[in-house]
Amino acid sequence: MKFKIIITLLLTIMAIMGSAQVIIGSANSSPAAILKLDANNKALRIPNLSVTNRTNAVTPILSPANGVMIYNTNTDINNDIAKGITYWGSDSKYHSQASYSATEAVISSSQIPLLIFSAAIGQKPNVPVGFTAGGGYTVLNLSTPEILFDKYLGWNMTNNQFKIPSTGIYMLEFVTDMSNTGNNGGTPVLRITKGGTTLISISGRFNNVSNRMYTTLITTQNLSVNDLLDFRYVYTDNNYSIQTGTLNIYKYQ
């Protein structure tokens, strides 16, 4: 009886080998696969090794063949080594299949600002009363076509505010090109507020040749999750409007 069982097992193994396929976890074959793993709550775990040199054919693997795959546990930005699924290529180098989150981690660790919001500001309605005559700041409103990129969907179209997605260091870039119908000179001012409190204000300059007021506000701020920012502008004389501009928000970490 035992002999028959052994013969049956050998015949089964030979049949599997004859079809050039190993199946683990089910009896469902896949003709195109040499190895097939089936499971409802388990997965394949490849070796976790550390790549310290992309061209090293000795460690962590001696004489790696093309296509050899590992999970690299090391990150070395200066040598283009990223943590994640890594394989040995035909160019005799390790290559990392970095995910978006891995890319963000590299950016964060190297303190490269990551663009999370960008808008191309179009022409805005005329503001009849300037600051000198008692006019206040106008809150920048953006239409959907003006928003080019909003990674975390932070812009609220109703309140014209941007909600900070997570605590960290941010760079805010607010640039405007305004005009004044009276060509009377004057001073434009841009302001960023957080929860109604002024973070920073900056004055621009008036060019009486082009009748334009150019203002650039760039600031780095330590902000907390759910902070609400709005972006405002004003001009000293009456009858002014934004002609063009940009609003970019970058996250450092």
pLDDT band at 107; cut points 50, 70, 90 = low
Instruction: Quote the pTM value.
Output: 0.64
Mean pLDDT value across the chain = 86
Top pLDDT among 48 and 105 is at 48
Report the pLDDT averaged over residues 215-220.
96
For residue range 124-148, what is the model confidence (pLDDT) as tens digits?
Answer: 999 999 898 899 999 999 999 999 9
CA-CA distances (angstroms) from residue 153 to 150, 178, 245?
5, 27, 20
Grade residue 51 by pLDDT with cuts at 50, 70 and 90: very high
Site of tokens 């940009």: 246
pLDDT for position 4? 56
Higher pLDDT, 117 or 43: 117
Question: C-alpha angle 59/65/66, rounded to 5°?
Answer: 115
Residue 14 clears pLDDT 60, i.e. is over it: no
| CA–CA separation, 168 and 170 (whole Å) | 6
